[in-house]
Amino acid sequence: MSEIIRVENLSYIYNQGMPDATKALDDVSFTVEEGDFVGIIGSTGSGKSTLISHFNGLNRPTSGRVLVDGRDLWEQGADLRSFRFLVGLVMQYPEYQLFEETCARDIAYGPRNMGLDEAEVQRRVREAAAFVGLSDELLEKSPFELSGGQKRRVAIAGVMAMHPRVLVLDEPAAGLDPEGRDTILSQIRDYHEKTGITVLLVSHSMEDIAKYANRVLVMHHAKIAMYDTVENVFARAQELLELGLSVPQVTQIFLKLRQMGLDIPADVYTIPYAVKTIQKALAAKQGGGANA
């Protein structure tokens, strides 16, 4: 795999030089490999949203730099517009950004801005709509006639239709019911698996991160507290709790069992993994009993 994002000593100060100046990012450095699915977690105010808004140039670093596909977004002569096609950013509550007469026209807005011919625009609209489960009938409706979850899917499809190499999502399932939440996140995972696109997902839900991501970046007080595989981060469940973060309920249960003296792994973070771990422990115990 090749590197798609490199963040070097990135700091960002809101209202720099003013009495209320606030350091939202403090000397942050990390890299993302192409094809990764990175979950970004942290308490409110930790710097998550500020960080991701640097990936397509919505914020300019106070110091340090951000490279996407080996290029600095802010170097002299850089084409910021091209970066915004390379990195698709879905902000929180993206349905508030819908404005066209029909869902199809909203999804087509980005590809048309790229200067694609109409046949390719329409092909991308249909393809993106299929990825997020929008029917032809819904495409011809006004986005304002749709449910909250459907609007969210239209907004995400509009970014997918630009075929970005990096898809960045800030709490894409916020405010949705559990079924709507699972639908959208499953569609994003399927899109990631089918296209090989790099995904960065900001979420408050540890269950979601554990279920969908393969790497986790933990933000705390404007700095990176952890950045590792899902297994290695959730194996540090006690540290996460000390940072004021929750961990998946199944992880909490296994953490408690370890504290009670049971010899079980600390990196259990999904129900299927928990089941396998318990089955393995039972098999080992039965095998030990047979040998005795």
Task: Tell me the pLDDT tens digit for each residue of 187-229.
Answer: 999 999 999 999 999 998 888 898 999 999 999 999 999 999 9
Between 88-102, 140-154, 198-212, 276-290, the lowest mean confidence (pLDDT) is in 276-290
> Mean pLDDT over residues 6-11, rounded?
98
Confidence label for 238 from pLDDT (cuts 50, 70 and 90): confident
Q: Name residue, tokens 């009495």.
A: 19
- C-alpha span between 173 and 208 (Å, rounded): 10
- C-alpha span between 103 and 108 (Å, rounded): 9
Strand partners, 202: 40, 170
- C-alpha span between 131 and 113 (Å, rounded): 21
How high does pLDDT run on average in the chain?
90
Q: E strands, 141-206, where?
A: 166-170, 198-202
Strands ordered across the beta sheet of 223-229 = 87-90, 166-170, 198-202, 37-42, 215-220, 223-229
Sequence length of the chain is 292
> Mean pLDDT over residues 44-51, rounded?
93
Strand partners, 65: 8
Give the residue, 118 or 270, on which the prediction is more confident. 118
Could you say which DSSP state residue 92 is in? S
pLDDT of the residue at 289 = 54
Angle at Cα 115 formed by Cα 113 and Cα 117, nearest 5°? Answer: 120
Nearest to 46 by CA among 216, 220, 203: 220
- SS3 of residue 135 by DSSP: coil
pLDDT of the residue at 292 = 45
pLDDT of the residue at 207 = 85
Q: Residue ranges per domain, the chain?
A: 3-236, 248-292
Alpha carbon 46 to its chain's center = 16
Topology, domain 3-236: Rossmann fold (3.40.50)
